[in-house]
Amino acid sequence: MKALLLTEYKQMQVTDVDEPEVGPDDVLVQVEACGICGSDIHGYDGSTGRRIPPLVMGHEAAGIVVATGANVTDLPDGTRVTFDSMVSCGKCHFCTDGHRNLCDDRMVLGVSCDDYRRHGAFAERISVPRRIVYQLPDSLSFEHAALVEAVSVAVHAANVTPIELGDTAVIVGAGMIGLLTLQAVRAKGATQVIAVDLNDKRLAAAKELGADITLRGDQCDVPEEIRKLTHGRGADVAMEVVGATPTVTTAIESVRKGGSVCLVGNVSPTIELPLQSVVTREVSLHGTCGCNGEYPECIDLMNRGIINVEPLITAKISLADSPQWFERLHAGDPDQMKVVICPQS
């Protein structure tokens, strides 16, 4: 079958690869759509160290069941599906305790670390365990369903944050995940949502997707502006979706005493923290990692239009055109939000 192979760093090639093996508990999916994640771009240049060539990347996908293993009896051929990006072991303490996203032995599709290699969905077909596969309604397109993985990151972040009806929430970073997180916190009950970014186009998208107020982080004192908007108190919660010292500081200083900050972004492995502000104001910090079984919730939210991904899809491309698009995205293209590869086109 054809696949987009990372042959070496900064080198992508559409080539023939072996058909995936289908174990007794696996599902073979014909990939109809697969989104290019920011982590794939970092994998393309080797900056994360988590994608070691040769590797088929890609973990945000949807498609059609074309075969199943002997133990899979509930997904007939032709079923429209998506699947989680993470394969948990199901046996460790964290899996049995209901925290599959923290699995000791988790593997991520399209990722190659020192201890495992798991080819991903930039290919015509992929084999995945039945336990991570979710059926799609006919009303949800494959291109939209390919973004369920990204939506699940946002919904999980909202779920681990103590958001209550009537809260004011600040979203620091209006990139792809930030714009999804904005919609997720609105769905969770926040009634005033403030988006912060340095890019006017992203802030315009935030406004379109439900932000009540947008602020340019380089043109105002964001915490002071938020205090003005909240009668001097500060926001109830802040979602930091970048992962750098300045934006984490902005998020912390924007919340009220006793407020909560959810750390979603992880661009920088280490940051400086305004510790005294956190301690003296009893601010709660919440880390969030991937998702933990939120796929059905995400599919429902998307299918009902509560979370809208259409404005975020800026290009739909073929497998053959993908190497050039990786070069373009790696060089930096501010006009692109989410590029979706359609391997069957």
Is residue 173 located within the same domain as residue 221?
Answer: yes
The CATH number for 70's domain is 3.90.180.10
Is residue 106 located within the same domain as residue 227?
Answer: no
**Exposed/middle/buried for residue 211 (C-beta within 10 Å: 0-12, 13-18, 19+):** buried
Is residue 194 located within the same domain as residue 130?
Answer: no
The answer to the question of residue 230 being in a domain is: yes
Average pLDDT per 10 consecutive residues for the chain, totaling 345 residues: 97 96 98 96 89 96 98 98 94 94 94 89 98 97 98 98 97 96 98 97 96 97 98 98 97 98 92 97 97 96 97 96 96 91 95
Tokens 């301690």 belong to: 279
Is residue 321 located within the same domain as residue 262?
Answer: no
How far is the CA of 202 from the CAs of 37, 125, 177, 215, in angstroms? 17, 34, 12, 11
The CATH number for 214's domain is 3.40.50.720
Is residue 12 located within the same domain as residue 140?
Answer: yes
**Which residues have C-beta within 8 Å of that of residue 142, sequence separation ≥ 6?**
32, 33, 62, 63, 80, 342
The answer to the question of residue 297 being in a domain is: no
Is residue 233 located within the same domain as residue 324?
Answer: no
Look up the domain containing 7 and give its range.
2-147+309-342
Per-residue pLDDT tens for 211-268? Answer: 999 999 999 999 999 999 999 999 999 999 999 999 999 999 999 999 999 999 988 8
Is residue 10 located within the same domain as residue 142?
Answer: yes
> Token digits for 165?
């009806």
The C-alpha atoms of residue 46 and residue 4 are separated, in whole angstroms, by 16
The answer to the question of residue 169 being in a domain is: yes
Is residue 116 located within the same domain as residue 249?
Answer: no
Number of domains in the chain: 2
Is residue 129 located within the same domain as residue 264?
Answer: no
Please state at what angle helix 200-208 crosses helix 176-188, rounded to 10 degrees.
30
The answer to the question of residue 302 being in a domain is: no
Is residue 7 located within the same domain as residue 141?
Answer: yes
Is residue 264 located within the same domain as residue 238?
Answer: yes
Residue 179 has a pLDDT of 98
The answer to the question of residue 303 being in a domain is: no
The answer to the question of residue 173 being in a domain is: yes
The C-alpha atoms of residue 49 and residue 45 are separated, in whole angstroms, by 9
The answer to the question of residue 296 being in a domain is: no
DSSP secondary structure letters along 187-213 = HHT-SEEEEEES-HHHHHHHHHTT-SE
Residue 48 has a pLDDT of 81
The answer to the question of residue 295 being in a domain is: no
Is residue 261 located within the same domain as residue 318?
Answer: no
Q: For the stretch 8-17, what's the b/e string if a residue is b when 16 or more beta carbons lie within 10 angstroms of its beta carbon? A: eeeebebeeb
